[in-house]
Amino acid sequence: MNPFEIVSKQEDKIQYTSIERVVEMVYRDYKFIQNINISDVVEWIGEIYGLINYPGMYRRKITGSDVYTPNISISNYRGELPVDFKKALKAGVRDYDSKEVYRPSTSTFTEFGYTLSAEPEYINSDKVYTIRGGYIFVEDEEVTLEMAYEAFPIDSRGYPLVPDNTKVLQYAEEYISDKIAFNLLAANKISQYVYEEISKRRLFKAGSAHTALLNRTPDEMETWTWSRLKLMPRMMQHESSFAYLGNREDMGLGTNLT
């Protein structure tokens, strides 16, 4: 369950494909749609990520894994987040050198105090951070942070990638077709009936796309089960980035086991 171990062993939880594949599906199934603007498709794919809103759609990464997302250098109590940052994984922020794990700050004034590049008046005994407006704020004036985080999946051109799942691809196709069809309807190039049929298809595919990403594997369910079937609560899991949260708890009481 340690986020840094998870990412290092398997970068992508799911497979991805390019947006050109979705465009080809639109051309294949809707012959009257022509000349799709790729910049519009990029925007619409971003909207699809927000509408499906499933965390597993995003790529899991560790800073420092490539030249585009180096480790975060803190200067004057703040540092820039990676360009593809979506959100930090649980216990996913730690000191690069000491590996001490940071936790989110509960202070209302954390980021406001550090924007002035001044030493904070009150220092927390724990390592804490706050994320606001593309920056991460900490209580260390100079430090290098390592972050495990969810990232928007993009290709080498900076274009978003799409989960290579049949139902997700079908929803993306219908969503883009619906957007284009509305403009064609407004220009009186297709009938109201055709547009309504495309909209019905989009609505039908929306739920199936979200459900397709929710299904867990037996291995994932095993980890989930043992993380909750415990008699002895372990209060210090955060310090190890939840590395042992999914371990089975064995108690030898009354079994003559040592």
Give the closest residue to 25 by CA, choosing from 166, 207, 156: 166
Helix, strand, or coil (residue 162): strand
Average pLDDT across each block of 10 residues of the chain; the chain has 258 residues. List them in order: 56 80 95 92 92 81 86 92 89 90 76 55 73 89 92 86 92 96 94 94 87 68 69 66 67 57
pLDDT of residue 142: 92
pLDDT of residue 141: 87
pLDDT of residue 126: 78
Measured CA to CA, the distance from residue 134 to residue 39 in angstroms comes to 24
Give the closest residue to 126 by CA, choosing from 236, 242, 5, 243: 236
Measured CA to CA, the distance from residue 85 to residue 13 in angstroms comes to 16
Give the closest residue to 10 by CA, choosing from 238, 217, 156, 228: 217
Q: Which two tokens stand for residue 63?
A: 């800073």
Q: Which two tokens stand for residue 39?
A: 């910049």
In DSSP terms, 147 is beta-bridged to: 93
Task: Please state the φ and ψ torsions of residue 233, each to the nearest 5 degrees.
Answer: -65, 140
pLDDT of residue 212: 75
pLDDT of residue 72: 94
144-182: burial string, b at 16+ Cβ within 10 Å, e else: bbbbbbbbbbbeeeebbbbbebebbbbbbbbbbbbbbbe
Distances (CA, A) of 209 to 10, 45, 255: 23, 14, 48
Give strand ranges (E) for the chain. 16-17, 59-62, 72-75, 78-80, 85-95, 103-104, 128-132, 135-138, 142-151, 162-163
Measured CA to CA, the distance from residue 149 to residue 6 in angstroms comes to 11
